[in-house]
Structure formats: C-alpha cells, structure tokens
Amino acid sequence: DVVLTQTPVAQPVTLGDQASISCRSSQSLVHSNGNTYLEWYLQKPGQSPQLLIYKVSNRFSGVPDRFIGSGSGSDFTLKISRVEPEDLGVYYCFQATHDPNTFGAGTKLELK
Amino acid sequence: QVQLKESGPGLVQPSQTLSLTCTVSGFSLTSNSVHWVRQPPGKGLEWVGAIWSGGSTDYNSALKSRLSISRDTSKSQVFLKMNSLQTEDTAIYFCTRGGRGYWGQGVMVTVSS
C-alpha cells in the first residue's frame, strides 16, 4: 500500500503568517492516465473533513485562494498564506491514484 | 443539493457484524462512486473502501477479509457490512461521494460488550 508521510506533525502559527505542510509518498502518484490524484483536506473539531485541493493544485469550490497546492511525482506541499482563525484544525493529504487509497497521518495547524 | 447521511447502530458487540447505510440525494449512484472513511476517537482518517459507479468495489487491504460494500440504486443507498468486529473498529464512520467534495456527518460506532 502507498504510505503518505506528512510533516510536520504539528505546525504552530501566528495569525496572518504563512504555513506549509509537506506530504511525501512512498511511490509516484502519477496515474497511468497522466493525472495525479493527490488531495488535501481540513478537518475541524467535531466536523467532517472538507476537501480543499484535488489533483495536486485545484481548489475545490469555495476554497479561498490563500490555499495553494503544489508538487509532483511523490513530493507535495500545501501552503496557506495569511492564516486565519477558521484555518485551524488538522490537515490530511490523501491519494486516490493507487488502490487501496490512503491518507496521511495528519498535521495539526495550531496557534503559537 | 448533494447530501449523504449515514445510519446504523451506535453499539455493536465484539465478534458481531456491523451494518451501516449511507442514504444519498442530489446525485445518482450509477454516475458516482461512494467511499467509506473511518476515524477512531482522537486519531486520523482511514480509507475503508468504495463502490464505483459500475458497481465494482475496492477495499482497504487490512479490512478486506471482513468487509463488504454494496448498494441499492433504486433506494439511493450504499451499505457497509463488516464482520468479526473488534474494539479497534470503534470509530466514526463517514460516507463521501467520489471526488470527496461531499461528506455525510458521520455515525459513531462503539464496539463493546
């Protein structure tokens, strides 16, 4: 199975700062059809996960442009510029290229 | 609008079988996949399995021997059945539409005698 390694485990931030989360895969996430199915989710306490980014860098409907996904192959990054209070929570990367699909272990974005 | 809602027993005894239902609206099961994801208390997300628009299924390797996902397209329902439950299966179980932009609220399942 594909293992997704997220770093850091926790990211203390000051509101208004930039945050960056890394997700590294144990194998390339490029599908045979040429697409890379790497997604990012935010889960706030007591809520269902919410999709932020799909196919590496595409923002889901309604997601602010301060969320930027990038990367290729097996190395991916989510950047959040100008962190706002509603951005706090746990971020997960997820791959849907290979079966079975897998999640990273999560990165908690918290106030410094 | 797109909606998903999980339902099932809140408490299941060890070694018994879990049966959950995901009732969907606003989209067709013959055009979209539905995935199950679970989250043990205080822990991360785990992909459980999926049923694709054509009716085929994929499962988490670690759960495959105990898991079955099926559907009734006429009722817009997807079913999860997992047997030989253990305390480690205690979790919130979510269903989500393929593409994962839409999620149910989740249902808490506790495995305990």
Residues 78-97, chain B: which have Cβ within 8 Å of A?
94, 96
> Nearest residue on chain B to A107, judged by CA atoms?
B44
Under the banding of pLDDT at 50, 70 and 90, the label for residue A87 is: very high
Cis geometry, peptide bond prior to residue A64 (ω within 30 degrees of 0): no
Q: Are A74 and A24 in contact (CB under 8 A)?
A: yes
Choose among A39, A43, A61: nearest Cβ to B100.
A39
* pLDDT at residue B50 in the model: 96
For chain B, counts of helices (H) and of strands (E): 0, 10
Q: Are B40 and B90 in contact (CB under 8 A)?
A: yes
> Nearest residue on chain B to A54, judged by CA atoms?
B99
Whether residue A59 lies within 8 A of chain B, CB to CB, comes out as: no
Measured distance CA(A56)–CA(A42) in Å, rounded: 15
pLDDT at A40 exceeding the cut of 90: yes
Whether residue A41 lies within 8 A of chain B, CB to CB, comes out as: yes
Quote the minimal CA–CA distance from B96 to chain A in Å: 10
CB atoms under 10 Å from CB of A17, counted, come to: 12
pLDDT at A108 exceeding the cut of 90: yes
pLDDT tens-digit series, residues A10-37: 999 999 999 999 999 999 999 999 999 9
CB atoms under 10 Å from CB of B74, counted, come to: 7
* pLDDT at residue A48 in the model: 97
Mean pLDDT of A26-52: 97
Mean pLDDT of A74-83: 97
* pLDDT at residue B15 in the model: 96
| Environment class of B60 (CB within 10 Å of its CB; exposed 0-12, middle 13-18, buried 19+) | buried
Residues 2-31, chain A: which have Cβ within 8 Å of B?
none
Nearest one of B78, B77, B76, B13 to B68, comparing CA atoms: B78
Whether residue B103 lies within 8 A of chain A, CB to CB, comes out as: yes
Q: In one letter, which amino acid is B16? A: Q
* pLDDT at residue B101 in the model: 87
Whether residue A91 lies within 8 A of chain B, CB to CB, comes out as: no
Put simply, the answer to whether B45 touches A103 (Cβ < 8 Å) is yes
The per-residue pLDDT string of chain B (113 residues; one tens digit each, 9 = 90 and over) reads 999 999 999 999 999 999 999 999 999 999 999 999 999 999 999 999 999 999 999 999 999 999 999 999 999 999 999 999 999 999 999 999 988 889 999 999 999 99
Nearest one of B80, B77, B92 to B41, comparing CA atoms: B92
Quote the minimal CA–CA distance from A90 to chain B in Å: 9
Cis geometry, peptide bond prior to residue A12 (ω within 30 degrees of 0): no
